[in-house]
């Protein structure tokens, strides 16, 4: 079974900033960076953030969804700037990945509605964002679609964390 742990510095940052009134903005900043760098699934940070400050679950869900939309728009802009040749040269195996094929097919058929659904789902969104960049999808469209999708996902996840915290705490 794969276990995911937050880095110590991130746990420390959440604990230190929890009492501060800008705590939701700190967590939203983490969401922006996690989405832009696709370094780790942000839900791994959202759940502990909500458990630390359960009364702020709505603000955390909404601000993190918006920040994730901003991070996705920035990432699409970077992919667009790098160009298709650079991306394909660096990641030739990406075109063979099933997730890439699935996201590409959805984006061709349904456009930004597909991106919104991918963002709201547990599916990885990076292949869809890369396809958006290569297809020339508008940055405001990406911001809107991912922002709404991630906001719905994170508000639901925050609500579930507050409502059923025992499911998210590893008790031995």
Say which residue, 124 or 168, is predicted with more confidence: 124
Longest Cα pair distance anywhere in the chain, in angstroms?
50
Please check whether residue 46 is in contact with residue 31, taking contact to mean a CB–CB distance below 8 angstroms: yes
Range from 53-57, 87-91, 118-122 carrying the lowest mean pLDDT? 87-91
Give the whole-angstrom CA distance, residue 136 versus residue 35.
Answer: 20
Average pLDDT over residues 70-75: 95
Residue 19, judged by CB atoms within 10 A of its CB (0-12, 13-18, 19+), counts as: exposed
Helix (H) or strand (E) holding 104: helix 98-110
User: What is the model's pLDDT at position 171?
Assistant: 47
């Amino acid at each position: 079974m794969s276990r995911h742990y937050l880095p110590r510095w991130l746990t420390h940052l959440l604990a230190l900033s929890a009492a501060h009134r800008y705590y939701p903005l700190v967590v939203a900043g983490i969401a922006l960076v996690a989405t832009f760098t696709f370094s780790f699934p942000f839900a791994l940070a959202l759940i502990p953030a909500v458990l630390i400050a359960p009364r702020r679950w709505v603000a955390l869900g909404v601000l993190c969804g918006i920040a994730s939309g901003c991070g996705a728009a920035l990432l699409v802009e970077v992919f667009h700037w790098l160009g298709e040749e650079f991306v394909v040269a660096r990641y030739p195996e990406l075109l063979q990945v099933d997730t890439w094929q699935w996201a590409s097919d959805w984006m061709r058929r349904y456009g930004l509605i597909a991106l919104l659904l991918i963002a709201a789902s547990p599916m990885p969104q990076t292949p869809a964002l890369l396809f958006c960049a290569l297809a020339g999808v508008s940055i405001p469209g990406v911001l809107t679609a991912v922002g709404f999708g991630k906001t719905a996902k994170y508000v639901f996840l925050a609500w579930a964390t507050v409502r059923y915290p025992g499911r998210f705490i590893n008790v031995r």
